[in-house]
Structure 1
Amino acid sequence: MSFGDPNNPYGQQQPPQGQPGYGYPQQAPQGVPPQAGYGYPQQGQQPYGVPPQAPGTLQANNGYINVAGLGTVQVATMGRRFGARLIDGLAIGILYAVFSAIGLAGVFGASKSIDDCSGIDPLSPQYQTCVNDAAAQAGGIVAAFFGAIFVFFLITLLYEWLMIAFVGATLGKMALGLKVVKENTGQAPGIGGGFIRWIIPMVGSVLCGIGQLLVYLSPFFDNSGKLQGWHDRAAGTIVVKVK
């Protein structure tokens, strides 16, 4: 059967309408998606010319960040971080009150011992012995008081430093579902990172606590959207929400 044009001197045949042929676009069978042509990225691939997102890259500046090993997680809000700090402060405050009460009880006990010498004749040898004993007792109590303060400082150091270093969270952060991680690995900060993150606010506390307060408020000054404080930047860490 001929499909040629009778006026065509070469007698070239034309394909029937709807059948693929030269000069006609081919249509994919129904239900089968067409294949992408050259120059177009396949589904799931990064578009050509667009670099892949590196760890630590914010997702459209909407509070989510891509962290290696964790995927896309939400940056911890300042409200949650403040709440975690309050819980930690309450726990440390209770501990401080206990140590202070022990120290004050010792000081009052030493004062009472000195008052007990008042009933003895000041010119008698017994009075001098009583005063010496009371002074020795007071000195021991004062030493014990400062020793208790040192132990309290050591406990707070180990609490903040080691828990952040190995767990990535204190009790307050655990309660509010927050975690401190290395920005480039998603792992806990480790000994070095945890210590750097702890020591910077402590150095700031020397200036009547003003420097420490500024460090804790420094995430508000971070224009990257990651809410990194100065101590986080120095340690290479970021605080994220994990639940």
Structure 2
Amino acid sequence: MSFGDPNNPYGQQPQQGGQPGYGYPQQQPGVPQQPGVPPQPGYGYPQQPGQPYGAVPPQAPGTLQANNGYINVAGLGTVQVATMGRRLGARLIDAVAIGVLYFILSAIGVAGVFGLAKSADDCGDYMDPGYQSCIDDAAGGIIATFFGMMLIFFLVTLLYEWLMIAFAGATLGKMALGLKVVKENTGQVPGVGGGFIRWIIPIVGAFLCYIGMILVYLSPFFDNSGKLQGWHDRAAGTLVIKK
């Protein structure tokens, strides 16, 4: 009776040629490796130098994680997408801030109109030689004041929404609720061009009895990518995130 190798009590034949195990490149038996052709990968993630065993490779920027509200943004890492509740709250705060400013400007404009109307009362009798000229001046002043106030309202809205988003990435409402608008591909603030595109699209929608503007602001609900990008965000290439 012969005894085998004491280190191999079960009589198993040793593997020839160092058969690779789990997670290593596999090669078909008897098929020579072609020069210049990399070996086929085995199971599991390929390990990078210095990467812990079993670690998942980092996700590329712009990759939305599994329906948990987080996304990888270049230059920022993993950040949380702003919820629609916070965005609506920020929009309401902005509406109040702009409303207060409009009220102050309107009070100034109304005071100017009343002053011009009073000056029309002082034009004297309609039979006076300068009466018609005085009335025309007062009426012209009232019309100029009205259109001037409309222009000021437009510029206030433009500068508030456009420039604050362009250079700070947030309006007062977004700052109050910890939100920021960033470029999806860089993580930086939108800049002048991105801020203007993001501002002008809702404004154009407002010409349709404000229905278009409302749809633009509600459009993140229609985004099935999970990024909650509105139509204005997609056009400008921006995301609204939580800081």
Aligned partner of 2:212 in structure 1 is 211
SS in 2 for 1:69: coil
Q: What is the CA deviation profile of residues 83-142 of structure 1, one whole-angstrom value per residue up to 9, with x for unaligned ones?
A: 111111111111111222222222222222333346x3x43xxx3324422431331243
Report the equivalent of 2:192: 191
Q: Larger Cα Rg: Structure 1 or Structure 2?
A: 1
Q: Secondary structure at the match of 1:57?
A: coil
Please show how residues 113-128 of structure 1 align to structure 2 within 5 Å. 113-117=119-123, 120=125, 122-123=126-127, 127-128=128-129
Q: Does 1:14 align with 2:6?
A: yes
What TM-score comes out, normalization by structure 2 length?
A: 0.77
- Structure 1 segment 1-243 matched on structure 2, within 5 A: 7-8=1-2, 14-15=6-7, 38=24, 39=42, 40=44, 41-42=46-47, 44=52, 53-117=59-123, 120=125, 122-123=126-127, 127-242=128-243
Q: Give distance in 2, aligned partners of 1:171 and 1:69.
A: 24
Q: Give the residue type in structure 1 aligned to 2:206.
A: S
Distance 1:211 1:13, change over 3 A: closer
> How much has 1:174 moved relative to structure 2?
0.7
The one-letter amino acid of 2:130's match is: T
Deviations 1:144-170 (A, max 9, x none): 332232122112211111111111111
Structure 1: stretches of 5+ with no match in the other structure: 1-6, 24-35
CA contact (8 A) 1:165 1:191 kept: yes
Q: Which letter does structure 2 place at the counterpart of 1:154?
A: L
Amino acid across the alignment from 1:14: P
| Matched-pair identity in % | 71
TM-score by length of 1: 0.77
How far apart are the structure 2 equivalents of 1:157 and 1:104? 22
Query: RMSD of the alignment, in Å?
Result: 2.9
Alignment-mate amino acid for residue 54 of structure 1: A
How many equivalent pairs are there? 214
**Paired letter, 1:93:** G
Structure 2 gap ranges (5+): 15-21, 25-41
Superposed CA offset, 1:11-53 (max 9, x none):
7663599xxxx96xxxxxxxxxxxx862454454787xx9862
1:114–1:131: 8 Å Cα contact kept in structure 2? no
